[in-house]
Structure 1
Amino acid sequence: MAGGRPHLKRSFSIIPCFVFVESVLLGIVVLLAYRLEFTDTFPVHTQGFFCYDSTYAKPYPGPEASSRAPPALIYALVTAGPTLTILLGELARAFFPTPPSASPVVGESTIVSGACCRFSPPLRRLVRFLGVYSFGLFTTTIFANAGQVVTGNPTPHFLSVCRPNYTALGCPPPSPDRPGPDRFVTDQGACAGSPSLVAAARRAFPCKDAALCAYAVTYTAMYVTLVFRVKGSRLVKPSLCLALLCPAFLVGVVRVAEYRNHWSDVLAGFLTGAAIATFLVTCVVHNFQSRPPSGRRPSPWEDLGPTPTMESPLEKNRRPAGRIRHRRGSPHPSRRTAPAVAT
């Protein structure tokens, strides 16, 4: 900005693009997440199991709402936590701007669309970061639900809700001669338990709650690290990021301790959420940096200062071409002799 006046830029495509492109894409993602989560449009893969397999014979922990980390609490945290953090960060950035010499990227311009709509840089940043976060949240839900539907991996309490009739299935009870499972059951009608509980018990990999927590924590931690400016202390931002990581880790521990997921399910959920958040931050919002008013992205080498140059000795001793030329027939300038002195 020159002289404290904001740069103005007219654009008549920002509102149609937001309404007819970005909103439609977000609606499609929400609809797909709803279909995968609450309907049977995509049936869960029926995976077989071994008779008397102790890996899936843990006691039934009860419905999800009775967990120490219920879905309602997790959804509230992954929605409200990052939203409040980004809102406070952008408000602080708007009311307490950094000096021009300290900001490495040129500020954005104010976009004027039509005669009444005016979009300031703080408003655009807030909508951009929160919109991308919402898109990634539903995308993480789609990835987790799609993995559960495709794999159909059982939970640790699968046999407790399946209640198979081992006698009708021809499974002999374990004995000292056969301490482990010896038959693999692939019959789709082997379970005599509640169909809804059995279907829910087949959706373990990856853990959706772990994926959502990892996505929210990674996105928020990267925002805090890349946007916040704290002078005089090197431990404030790392401490805040570690404090954000603790709830996600505790959610994974609770899922395993209550026999709702295996450790492999939780780790896969963590990797899925963290990968989606890292991709969106680095490739979509460009590390939460502002865009220059001219639409040109600054090169990463522009902020390194002038490059030191070294003068070549050939260029230093170069003579003009006019001084080297001489007339035909005259001696070479370097071979001229001194004039004779009269005695």
Structure 2
Amino acid sequence: MDRRIVGRGGVKRSKYIVPCFLFVELVIMAGTVLLAYYFEYTDTFPVHVQGFFCFDKAFSKPHPGPEDDSRAPPVLVYSLVTAIPTVTILLGELASFFTKPEAMQEKTIVTADCCYFNPLLRRIVRFLGVYSFGLFTTTIFANAGQVVTGNQTPHFLSTCRPNYTALGCHSPLQYITERRACTGNPYLITSARKSFPSKDAALSMYSAVYTVMYITLVWRTKGTRLTKPILCLTVLSLAVLVGIVRVAEYRNHWSDALAGYLTGGAIAAFLVTCVINNFQQTQSQLPPLPPPVHPPRPEPSLLNMPMVAMPCVESPLEKLSGPQVPGVLYTGIT
């Protein structure tokens, strides 16, 4: 938490923005990226090996081929996941800055009078920084779920290529638990054990929910009421389409796609609601007003008395107490 002191001209002074950014936020971000890298590209966290039933139809779908041959390849999915929110936030912030400049007149002085942060730059860095953090967090959650559960993909048996004769599979109800049951490519087998939840569905839904909440809460469209709903439905439809393609190509089950939707949507909603406060601009802390001067407080016994207009009666005590207001009864209590 950085303490800001509002100075003259709407200028905010803070000594904690740069140290907090360098020694707290960057450290957390670096740790998140490093953990996502270890989950994705190393064998630091081994995948849980689950058994399977002989001739299980749920895992006997044909192999769909490499990921690059998919109708929604990872390159396309990750490009859209990165580009759509970035472009949306940049356009929204630039439009707000140039159409409503009076809403962004604050500057932040970090140290003395040398370092200024434009409010436009601060908002863009804040929103995109939180989005990047959530993107890697979603990757960690999805990879962690895949590693812990070890659920097989629909094409697992086509990749595993088990020797049913050597395993003694005489009945479809026989359960195989041997680690050496598979004779296929070890790398493809490991990938075929990472099905739950669907990482592509989680990242797509995270990006869609974050973008939709930004459009809904920040964009102000005049003259039409259909612009924002059309944009939001388009972005959500693209995210849902990614999961449908994964299921249609036998790369994930329906439960995997639904779990990915839930994971990505929950992380996006949490970050927008609890971390950046629904994209609202931070309010300036005004200097405290001087306390109001209250009249003498009456005794507790007189607090509950009804207000009754009574005629003013002159007395020597009233003449000595200063100017009077007509129509008000003075009790003489000080």
Shorter-normalised TM range: 0.7 to 0.9
> Could you say what secondary structure the match of 1:36 adopts?
helix
Q: Which contiguous aligned blocks of 4+ residues in structure 1 show a shift greater than 4 angstroms?
A: 318-323
CA contact (8 A) 1:157 1:260 kept: yes
Q: Read off the aligned partner of 1:161 and give its amino acid letter.
A: T
Contact 1:108–1:292 (CA under 8 A) maintained in structure 2 = no
Of the candidates 83, 91, 106, which is equivalent to residue 88 of structure 1? 91
1:142 aligned residue = 140
Q: How many Å apart are 1:317 and its aligned residue?
A: 3.0
Residues 30-57 of structure 1 show CA distances to partners (whole Å, capped at 9, x for unaligned) of 0000000110000000000000000000
Q: How does 1:20-169 map to 2 (within 5 A)?
A: 20-97=23-100, 109-114=106-111, 115-169=113-167
Query: Is 2:246 aligned against 1:273?
Result: no
**TM-align CA RMSD:** 2.2
Give the drift of 1:320: 9.7
Q: How far off is 1:113 after superposition?
A: 1.4
Question: Matched residues in 2 for 1:315 and 1:80: separation?
Answer: 68
Alignment of 1:1-343 (within 5 A): 6-97=9-100, 109-114=106-111, 115-172=113-170, 181-294=172-285, 315-317=306-308
Cα distance between partner residues in 1 of 2:148 and 2:311: 77
Q: Distance in 2 between matches of 1:184 and 1:321?
A: 101
Deviations 1:266-305 (A, max 9, x none): 0000000000000000000000000111189xxxxxxxxx
Deviation, 1:316, is 4.1
Which runs of 5 or more structure 2 residues have no equivalent in the other structure?
1-7, 288-303, 315-334
Q: 1:7 to 1:80 in 2, by over 3 A?
A: same
Between Structure 1 and Structure 2, how many residues are aligned? Answer: 290
- Listed as ranges, the gaps of 5+ residues in structure 1 are 101-106, 174-180, 297-312, 324-343
Higher RCO by CA contacts (8 Å cutoff, separation 6 or greater):
1
SS of 1:9's partner is: strand
Q: Relative to 1, partners in 2 of residues 1:8 and 1:283: Cα closer, same or farther, differing over 3 Å?
A: same
- The TM-score, its normalising length taken from structure 2, stands at 0.82
Matched-pair contact (CA < 8 Å) for 1:209–1:269: yes
Q: Give the CA deviation at 1:12.
A: 1.9
Contact 1:48 1:184 (8 Å CA) reproduced = yes
| Residues 322 and 127 of structure 1, relative CA distance in 2, 3 Å threshold | farther
Give 3-state SS (helix, strand or coil) of 2:182's partner: coil
Structure 1 length-normalised TM: 0.80
Question: How far apart, in 2, do the equivalents of 1:182 and 1:34 lie?
Answer: 39
Aligned-pair distance for 1:247?
1.1
Deviations along 1:144-181, one digit per CA (max 9) or x if unpaired, are: 000000000000000001001111111016xxxxxxx2
Give the aligned residue type for 2:235: L
Tell me the percent identity. Answer: 62
